[in-house]
Chain A
Amino acid sequence: MVLFVLLVPVLIKWISHNYVDNNLIKQKNKFLQIVKIQGIKNYIPDGEKYGSYYLPVKEEYLTIEEAAPQYFLDTIKNEKRLVERDTIEYRILSHTFKINSQNYLLEIGKSVSTLDETSTPLQNIALAVLVGMILLTILADLFYTNRVLKPLGLIIKTKLIGHKFPNFGSYQEVKTSTSDFQYLDISIHQMIETIEATFQKEREFISNASHELMTPISILQSKIENMFERDDIADDTKLRLLEMQKILNRLKSITKTLLLISQIENEQFLKEDKISLQELLQEVYDEISIRLPEKNLTFDIVIPQDTILVNVNKFLIFNLFFNLVNNAIKYNREDGEIIIAAENENNTLVVNITDTGIGISPEDMPFIFNRFKKFRQSMQHDSFGLGLPIVKSIAAFHQIVIGVDSVQGVGSNFKLTFPTVLIGQDVYL
């Protein structure tokens, strides 16, 4: 296309030149005809040069003169001629012919500027038409592709972007008559089904594995407890039993936590509780306040008095806040503070849990909700990296959106956005 646009002036020039050349040849033939009929003497009576110009702008001219007998010419080319003190560039046809053994040279010229004058507007028109055509093509293309590719957009929107991992909806066919799109739609659906099945298997595995681990842990725990009670056991053996008990407890916590997460992900909890946020946070405080004096932390709850949550699972929401506050304590500095603030925002409830802790580095941020992900800064703490995964699965189960802001060395802020469906309208009873 671009090549064509660039070639247009050259092409037009070439066409008009061709046209002029043909014209010149025609004029030559006509002139020779006239000479044949009327005789050369009519133009050159006594060997003088004959010249004729189409005045007044000397656009064209015609000359005849006698030439040397050996002189032979038959060309068309651009040359300059001096005509009455003006040098003008002409397209000149030169032709020699013999009459009565006398050689004559005929020149017919057409000025080049005239040539260009006629070709320039032509070029412009051609260009305008061309640009118009291109625009029209683009518009037509856009319209057409838009129409034709509509199913593709729909597939991308509903099948790829709309999906929330790991919860997939059921298959809904995208209406299209294009077999390629049908194929794409089916393929994506099959892919999603595979992913879903794998997710499901993983969940079932975790659930089964944790269940199966419960019984052996239970046996070990009972054995240790029974041994611990025996009078005939020496104190240093008891200390070792105590260590075993601690380690078993760790195993138990991990297993219970994994089981909880898998139960949440398998939606084995009911969401039928109605709770006062104030009271729930007070319960969290009662459970956890014993951990505050160690670092001399202050803990503030600033929430609207009558904030009611509905359609929630109290046990899970309690654990959500407990784990967030527990982290806020664990990673806090001496004399630091923790603030839980809630406010209503566009029909949602936003709860911010802010601490003055060590913060989360930008490199760690993408991984904080991953299971068993431990960070260097948290190595000193006795945890196994399941606190935030619990928080994440509980939040996802309730469609609570979590946002995290953190500045290293300054603190972190966890922002929970409760959707409208979880916010109670009436007064808590």
Chain B
Amino acid sequence: MNVLIIEDEEALAHELEIFLTNHNYITEVCYNGNSASEKIAINLYDFILIDLGLPDYDGLDLLKEAKKNNPDAACIILTARAEVYDRVRGLDLGADDYLAKPFSLLELQSRMQAIIRRKFGLKQSIVELGDFLINLTDRVITHHENIVNTITKKEFDLIAYLILHKNRTLTRTQLSEHIWGSIINDDYDSNYIDAHIKNIRKKLNIYAPPDWLETVRGLGYKIKMNA
């Protein structure tokens, strides 16, 4: 998958590059709008990450150009100016998603995965974990023939996020940001993730012990599965 990163903040662009390269994307980086405009006109990409706050270019204009020259590319807007109107306009102009800075790299990857599933028609995304089958599309967990219907929406979100980032330890901070990120409140250290994981284990244990859901001491949680 080819990704074009348009980000004038070099340090951030660099981190995005490292992260996406580690996750087997082929990346190109532009630090300004003009060079990005050229690249968009010449090359074809699967993903274009556009920072709206470029010094020399209106990010929304780049988005228009991208939609014209790279109609198949998925565009994700990255911006520090989380203005409501920007968001609405960006999505109106055909952006596939919108991430407000500061965002987690895991969140970016999760959005990209969702787009891939949507765009490239992975109809049923079913993951096998021990004796459990987890259907990420229909959001259903089954154990042999039985549907595990006690899992709540939040709990499924956690499982799905851990599956998406399988074999990797996710910290409580990363997990809370994913499931409570949009809520603005004045807690900065809520460890309610532990309570959620405890509940998930209790509910699944009725069917079979979910050994694949591991606690990484002091660090966080991970789901272990074979590639």
B11 shortest CB reach to chain A, Å: 5
Binds A, one of B77-85, B119-127, B132-140: B77-85
A221 interfacial by beta-carbon distance below 8 Å: yes
- Is the pair A225, B105 in contact by a Cβ cutoff of 8 Å? yes
Q: List 27 A-B contacts (CB under 8 A).
A: A211-B80, A214-B82, A217-B102, A219-B9, A219-B11, A221-B102, A222-B15, A222-B16, A226-B18, A226-B19, A226-B105, A229-B19, A238-B219, A246-B189, A249-B173, A259-B82, A263-B83, A268-B84, A287-B180, A294-B195, A315-B182, A330-B187, A382-B190, A383-B186, A384-B186, A385-B186, A387-B186
Mask, A209-224, CB within 8 Å of B = 1, is 0011011011101110
- Is the pair A219, B83 in contact by a Cβ cutoff of 8 Å? no
Q: Which residues of A contact B81 (CB under 8 A)?
A: 211
How far is it, in angstroms, between the C-alpha of A287 and the C-alpha of B155 when the chains are bound?
11
Mask, B43-84, CB within 8 Å of A = 1, is 000000000000000000000000000000000000011111
- Is the pair A249, B101 in contact by a Cβ cutoff of 8 Å? no
How far is it, in angstroms, between the C-alpha of A385 and the C-alpha of B102 when the chains are bound?
21
Q: A242-B173, A390-B184 are in contact. List 15 more A-B contacts (CB 8 A).
A: A215-B12, A221-B105, A225-B106, A225-B174, A228-B169, A238-B219, A250-B189, A259-B82, A286-B153, A287-B154, A290-B199, A330-B187, A383-B186, A383-B188, A390-B186
- Among A219, A250, A286, A384, the most chain B Cβ lie within 10 Å of the Cβ of A219
Nearest CB to that of B195 among chain A residues? A290
- Is the pair B185, A319 in contact by a Cβ cutoff of 8 Å? yes
Nearest CB to that of B85 among chain A residues? A268
- Is the pair A229, B168 in contact by a Cβ cutoff of 8 Å? yes
Knowing A214-B80, A218-B12, the reply to whether A257 touches B183 (Cβ < 8 A) is no
A297 shortest CB reach to chain B, Å: 13
A301 interfacial by beta-carbon distance below 8 Å: no
How far is it, in angstroms, between the C-alpha of A289 and the C-alpha of B99 when the chains are bound?
27
Q: Which residues of A contact B196 (CB under 8 A)?
A: 290
Mask, B190-221, CB within 8 Å of A = 1, is 10100110010000000000000000001110
Q: Which residues of A contact B131 (CB under 8 A)?
A: none
Q: Which residues of B contact A118 (CB under 8 A)?
A: none
B131 shortest CB reach to chain A, Å: 26
A403 interfacial by beta-carbon distance below 8 Å: no
- Is the pair A290, B192 in contact by a Cβ cutoff of 8 Å? yes
Nearest CB to that of A218 among chain B residues? B102
Q: Which residues of A contact B35 (CB under 8 A)?
A: none
- Is the pair A286, B154 in contact by a Cβ cutoff of 8 Å? yes
- Is the pair A228, B171 in contact by a Cβ cutoff of 8 Å? yes
Within 8 A of B (CB), among A277-332: 286-287, 290-291, 293-294, 315, 318-319, 322-323, 326, 330
Interface of A is mostly: helix
- Is the pair B15, A219 in contact by a Cβ cutoff of 8 Å? yes
A205 interfacial by beta-carbon distance below 8 Å: no
A165 shortest CB reach to chain B, Å: 23
Partner of A256, one of B85, B168, B184, B218: B184
B104 interfacial by beta-carbon distance below 8 Å: yes
Q: Which residues of B contact A219 (CB under 8 A)?
A: 9, 11-12, 15
A219 shortest CB reach to chain B, Å: 5
Knowing A215-B80, A229-B168, A287-B180, the reply to whether A221 touches B104 (Cβ < 8 A) is yes
- Is the pair B186, A245 in contact by a Cβ cutoff of 8 Å? no
A168 interfacial by beta-carbon distance below 8 Å: no
A154 interfacial by beta-carbon distance below 8 Å: no
Q: Which residues of A contact B218 (CB under 8 A)?
A: 235, 239, 242
A329 shortest CB reach to chain B, Å: 10
Nearest CB to that of B105 among chain A residues? A225
Knowing A242-B171, A287-B154, the reply to whether A225 touches B104 (Cβ < 8 A) is yes
B22 interfacial by beta-carbon distance below 8 Å: yes
Q: Which residues of A contact B103 (CB under 8 A)?
A: 218, 221
- Among A260, A330, A383, A385, the most chain B Cβ lie within 10 Å of the Cβ of A383
B194 shortest CB reach to chain A, Å: 10
